[in-house]
Structure 1
Amino acid sequence: MVSENEKTPVRQLDARSLRGLAHPLRMQLLDALRFGGPATASQLAAKLGESSGATSYHLRQLAEYGFVEDAPEHGKGRERWWKAAYRGLRFDTDLLDDSDPAVRGAADMYLHEVATTQTRDLSTWLGNRGSWPEEWRHVGDMSSATLRLTPELTQELVEKMHALIDTYRDRAAAEDAPGAEQVRLHTHAFPIRTD
């Protein structure tokens, strides 16, 4: 039997689901489950430096909006284990122009939290890279390029970058492959003004 996660690996955010996700702790909880695997509210509280009451509440909210689900195969006794319902999220930029100001605010907050998380990920890597084995210390990338593009060419470039990344999903190393680690990729494409 194919799990829902395998059938629908990426969830398209809409106005309703965005309202349920656009909270910094909820986004951290979802990322912790997506990248760290199933966990209890207490385990997540310890990992994120929060109270188990707060993590329990926000996990229930995430479940109400379909982002997380029970993982009973991990539980013992009264422990409630949670897992991410989807491997990824897709943000529709039309949400930034929604007629409802609450949706626009949630969309803006979501994007700022994503940017904060990505900055924190990169900063953590820079601060800890010396603790990684030698073969991992020199494969990271912090490049940037400034190109003169039209909106259409920018969209084409973004789609091609995402298509390239997708080709590596099928080539991903097995969990137990020697030397394999989770590798985080961030892509950014945005216009800038120069004087």
Structure 2
Amino acid sequence: MDDQQNDAAGQAATRHAADRVLDAGALRALAHPLRVRIYDILSQYGPQTASTLAEHLGESSGSTSYHLRALARHALIQECADRGSGRERWWERPVGGVSFTRPAGARTPSERSATQLVMSEFFRHRQDRLLDFVMHSEEAEEDDWSKGAMVSTATARLTPEQLEELSGRIMAIIDETVDRHRDQKGERVRPVSIRADLFPLATLEESS
């Protein structure tokens, strides 16, 4: 890895060391399927009101308003300071990364249960969106969006240090792209999901 790549990977590692680690209270607040969905929408599509969320999710605005307030109490989301009025409040996800320990690392049974629910809902929604794109991509084979998309899986034999290095390099590219285009607007602009899954495979003996 050259000096430029090394610097970028180091900057990414430093940046994400400051990501918010969700505590037990925040995890419990998020541990509801509808709240995970609301959080996901705010993360990907930007500010929403209780009414716009209700329309999208097929819920009542009273229900989405209740869940928005529950998320806000733990600073998972916040009210937009420059939008809305007393009757129409806009909500957004604060800028910055969040992380949580894997269920096996949870300190209490309730924290483990909350983590499992949040992770299962988050990854289920993400997988549903990927499958929706893959299953319908043939309908727009010549579409510019399909040409630019990539769904790829590869396997390499790495040491723990090489895996960490690769993660840092990929994260640096993602960070640079997000920082540059976070607030981009325009006729041809739409949200794009950027996925990066790097993890060690179990041995054949362990997976059988």
Cα distance, 1:180–1:28 mapped onto 2, change above 3 Å = same
RMSD between superposed Cα atoms in Å: 2.7
Q: Residue by residue, what CA displacement relative to the aligned partner does 1:127-174 show, whole Å, maximum 9, x if unpaired?
A: 444358722121111111122233343233222211221122343286
Take 1:173 and 1:15, find their aligned partners in 2: how far apart are those partners? 29
Take 2:118 and 2:85, find their aligned partners in 1: how far apart are those partners? 34
Which residue number in structure 2 is paired with residue 192 of structure 1? 202
Aligned partner letter, 1:39: Q
Q: TM-score, structure 1 length as denominator? A: 0.80
Conservation of the 8 A alpha-carbon contact between 2:20 and 2:98? yes
| Structure 2 segments unaligned to the other structure (5+ residues) | 1-17
Take 2:141 and 2:189, find their aligned partners in 1: how far apart are those partners? 12
Match of 1:119 among 118, 122, 127: 127
2:59 aligned with 1:50, yes or no?
yes
Which residue number in structure 2 is paired with residue 103 of structure 1? 111
Q: Residue by residue, what CA displacement relative to the aligned partner does 1:1-60 show, whole Å, maximum 9, x if unpaired?
A: xxxxxxxx9533233322221222111111222222222212201101222232121111
Q: TM-score, structure 2 length as denominator? A: 0.75
Aligned partner letter, 1:181: R
Look up the SS of the partner of 1:93 in the other structure: coil
Match of 2:91 among 65, 82, 94: 82
Conservation of the 8 A alpha-carbon contact between 1:95 and 1:107? yes
Greater mean deviation of Cα atoms: 21-30 or 129-138: 129-138
Greater mean deviation of Cα atoms: 33-42 or 138-147: 33-42
Question: More relative contact order in 1 or in 2 (CA 8 Å, sep 6+)?
Answer: 2
Greater mean deviation of Cα atoms: 158-167 or 9-18: 9-18
Conservation of the 8 A alpha-carbon contact between 2:50 and 2:64? yes
Measure how far apart 1:66 and its partner are. Answer: 0.6
Runs of 4+ in 1 over 4 A off after TM superposition: none
